[in-house]
Structure formats: structure tokens, C-alpha cells
Amino acid sequence: MATSEINLEAVEDDTNFSDDEHIEVDHINFELEQCSKMRGLYRKTTIFNDSQCYQSVKNKHQRKYKYRIDLAYLDPKPIRRRNKDWKWLVASLAMIGLHIAIIFGGWIDTASVNLLGLLIGVTVVAIMTLLAFFHQSSDKVIFRSQYGKIRIIELINNNPDKAHFRSFITKFIVQINKSRTARNYTAKKFLASELKQLRRLKDESVIPEEAYEKAKKLIFRHEAFKAAE
């Protein structure tokens, strides 16, 4: 297993990283650090040597890992995926409604000792379901591979703030286009090179086998491959 010379984390970092290619870091172009305390998630995305991207991901509920992708094989058009787990919000609002009804609806004698315990219980459930809503919901900006359309880079939308995030996205897209232009490959060579990149990420357990197989079918069905047959 080869390790990169780029220092993305502190020395004590135990994040898994596997990359058979030795990429010497000449210079770092720009970086973005994102942290979601609610989800226990940390991401650091580093663009270096004008053409390479490292993403380091730490999630207290999952494994830690780092991986690298050549920018030339990313689709410069990101997609946004928003997921709101509304059932938790509905449950929280129901608990809040129950709380109000108990106090102002005259359901229970306000002098009752049991009332205090009931109100505390309802409040706790309301808070827990509200936290579950925020934890289960997500708002991501995703960059996929150019031809295989497989998720490669995921970013938390507007994190750490809207201005920094938009600035990073703008520079990131520009760098993808520059890297692709610099390759000056034919369509067929791009397809073959992207497949190689995806195979490496699959072998490093960054992308699942099923997603890789779907991407491979898309690449093989591309007209550039058909024309060569």
C-alpha cells in the first residue's frame, strides 16, 4: 500500500488510504474543509498539481477513508441531492402539539405531580425526533464521473458557509475543465482511462462493486466504443 506525501490530517490520523500510484505533490491549488457536528461528519477536499483531487472522509458512524481521483474524469456539471426525512419532523410537531394541548387544553389537572413527568417526557421525545429529522436529512452537491455517471465527490451544500462553498465549486469546475483540456485525449481514450480510474476506486472499496458494474456498462455502450468495434 502506497501512501501519499500530502499531509491532509494530523500525524495521529488512522484513516484508511490505498493508492497504488505514487503521485508526488508539487503544489496545492485550493482546499475545502467541511464539518457537520450533527451528523458526526468531516470532509476535506484538496486539489493539487492542477489535476488531482484528494477527499478525506471521517464519519463516526462509518469507516474513515481517503481517496484520489484525476479531475479530468469528472463531469463538470454537479447535481444537487436534497433528502428531507419528513416523518421525524411530523412526529416532532405532533409532540409539540401534544405538549401545548396538555398545558392549555385542560386535559389534566395542572396541579398533578404526574403532569410534570408527562410534559418532560413529551418534550424529550419532541427534541429527539427533531434531532432525528436534522440527522437523517441531507443536502449534497455531487460530482460524478464523466461517462460512467458514478458518484465520486460528495460535498455538503453551503458548508462551511455559502460564500466559501460557492467559491470552491466555481474553482473546482474550472479546474476540471482545464484538466480535461490538458489531457487532449480522444473520446475512446477518455473512456478507457476513466474505466481504469473507476476500477482502482472499486478495488480500494471507495465505490461499490454494483455501482462499478453499472458504470462499466454505460462506458461500453458509448458510441466511441461501438465505433471501434
Q: What is the pLDDT of residues 129-178, one digit of tens each?
A: 655 555 566 689 999 999 999 999 999 999 999 999 999 999 999 999 99
Compute φ and ψ for 65, nearest 5 degrees: -160, 160
Residue 13 has a pLDDT of 46
Residue pointed to by grid coordinates 472522509: 57
Cβ atoms within 10 Å, residue 98: 18
Contact of 196 with 72, CB cutoff 8 Å: no
SS3 call for 66 = strand
Mean pLDDT by 10 residues, the chain (229 residues): 39 50 86 86 94 89 82 96 67 68 60 62 69 64 95 93 96 96 91 94 92 94 71
Q: What is the pLDDT of residues 9-25, one digit of tens each?
A: 433 444 455 566 668 88
Contact of 206 with 154, CB cutoff 8 Å: no
